[in-house]
């Protein structure tokens, strides 16, 4: 029996892609897609040629996150063309193929796998420095498939995104063990939503606990602070949000012998950037998370 023609076709497509990075998470909602999108933006800003591939069939959030909802995929004689958000950043999402974004996709494994295969085989990326793959949460059929399909073409490794909570950390262990089993290198673990961090003056309301009275911070606090504690005007507040007494992802990474890439705080500006479908690295409103993300990306 000769080589699988699909795998041959995938290898041909991937021959023009230098680096392939999988972004994984044990659970949904931890910020995997946000991280994938921002990683792609950051690499593109460094003048690399970047592709972002979203294969989360049951919950593709990349189109919404990049303001690309309703986009249709164009086909040329070279294959399916990605949607370009920057001249050097092309995006391809399973979401573009689904007719109704509000409808649940109830597909069994084989159908999902064949779509993933088709994506890898038929999307024309051209020359790419990086292909960032936003995988579905967990370790399911789709993960085994993508690794299997890309294995021969060389995967750089996986970045695992988690929150500091135990429930999420436990699943990271599963992701790490999955990577070990299928022979994918763990590039590192990122702890997202690691505390809340924002300039003191960005808090919109202060509630006076005893009376339950709520005051508009912009007026009252600014006035009060200017008079009584002007140094607060430039301060950044940080709060833990989740209990991290267990040492969080950093300790766990150490225990599992995988690199810890860093922490990204909950940042309203990052959330807004994702809602608006843009990079959090650009513009005057670049939040605190951007600095954290930059450190992580430089580390990688
Ligand atoms: P996942 O891909 O893991 O399901 P998402 O990337 O869709 O998670 O993130 C879930 C929600 O949390 C999104 O609305 C996103 O904007 C928000 N979010 C993710 N990370 C942060 C962060 N560090 N600060 C603020 N909001 C965040």
Domain ranges for the chain? 5-195+240-299, 201-234
Distance 112 CA to ligand 1 centre (A): 24
Pocket-testing residue among 33, 34, 270, ligand 1, by greatest number of atoms within 8 A of Cβ: 34
The tens place of each residue's pLDDT in the chain, 300 residues long, gives: 778 888 899 999 999 999 999 999 998 889 999 999 999 998 998 999 999 999 887 777 888 888 888 787 888 889 999 999 999 999 998 888 776 666 666 677 778 888 888 889 999 999 999 999 999 888 888 888 888 888 878 899 999 999 988 878 889 999 999 999 999 999 999 999 988 877 777 766 565 556 766 666 667 767 777 788 788 777 777 777 776 677 889 999 999 999 999 888 888 888 888 888 888 777 555 566 777 787 777 766
Is 251 annotated in a binding site? The answer is no
- Nearest-atom number in ligand 1 for the CA of 28 is 4
Is 31 annotated in a binding site? The answer is yes
From the list 159, 149, 137, the residue with the least C-alpha distance to 43 is 159
pLDDT of 92: 92
pLDDT of 300: 66
* DSSP code of residue 75: E
Is 32 annotated in a binding site? The answer is yes
pLDDT of 212: 67
Ligand 1 contacts (CB < 6 A) are 25, 28-34, 61, 192-193, 264, 266-267, 270-271, 274, 289
pLDDT of 128: 97
Q: What is the DSSP string of 202-224?
A: G--EEEETTTTEEEEHHHHHHHH
pLDDT of 278: 80
pLDDT of 169: 85
Is 157 annotated in a binding site? The answer is no
Exposure b/e, 210-228, CB count within 10 A at least 16 = b: eeeeeeebeeebeeebeee
Looking at the domain 5-195+240-299, which fold is it? Answer: Rossmann fold (3.40.50)
Say how many residues make up the chain.
300
Contacts 24+ apart (CB under 8 A), 180-185: 182/143, 182/144, 182/147, 182/151, 183/147, 183/151, 184/22, 184/147, 184/155, 184/157, 184/158, 185/155, 185/156, 185/157, 185/158
- State yes or no: ipTM above 0.85: yes
What Rg, from alpha-carbon coordinates, does the chain have?
21
């Amino acid at each position: 029996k000769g080589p699988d023609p699909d795998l041959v076709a995938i290898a041909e497509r991937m021959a023009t892609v230098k680096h392939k990075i999988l972004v994984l998470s044990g659970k949904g909602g931890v910020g995997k897609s946000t991280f994938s999108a921002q990683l792609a933006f950051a690499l593109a800003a460094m003048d690399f040629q970047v592709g972002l591939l979203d294969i989360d069939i049951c919950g593709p959030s990349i189109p919404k996150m990049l303001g690309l909802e309703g986009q249709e995929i164009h086909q040329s004689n070279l294959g399916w063309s990605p949607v370009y958000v920057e001249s050097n950043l092309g995006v391809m999402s399973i979401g573009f193929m689904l007719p109704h974004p509000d409808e649940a996709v109830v597909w069994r494994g084989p159908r999902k796998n064949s779509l993933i295969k088709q994506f890898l085989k038929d999307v024309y990326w051209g020359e790419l420095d990086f292909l960032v793959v936003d995988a579905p949460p967990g370790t399911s059929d789709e993960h085994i498939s993508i690794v299997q399909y890309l294995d021969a073409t060389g995967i750089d490794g996986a970045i695992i995104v988690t929150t500091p909570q135990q429930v999420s950390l436990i699943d990271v262990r599963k992701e790490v063990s999955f990577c070990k089993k299928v022979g994918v290198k763990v590039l590192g673990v990122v702890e997202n939503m690691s505390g809340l961090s924002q300039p003191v003056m960005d808090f919109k309301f202060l509630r006076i606990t005893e009376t339950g009275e709520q005051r508009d911070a912009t007026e009252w606090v600014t006035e009060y602070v200017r008079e009584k504690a002007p140094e607060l005007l430039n301060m950044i507040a940080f709060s833990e949000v989740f209990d991290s007494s267990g040492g969080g992802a950093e300790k766990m990474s150490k225990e599992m012998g995988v690199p810890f890439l860093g922490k990204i705080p909950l940042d309203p500006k990052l959330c807004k950037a994702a809602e608006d479908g843009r990079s959090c690295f650009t513009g005057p409103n670049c939040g605190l998370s951007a600095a954290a993300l930059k450190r992580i990306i430089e580390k990688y």
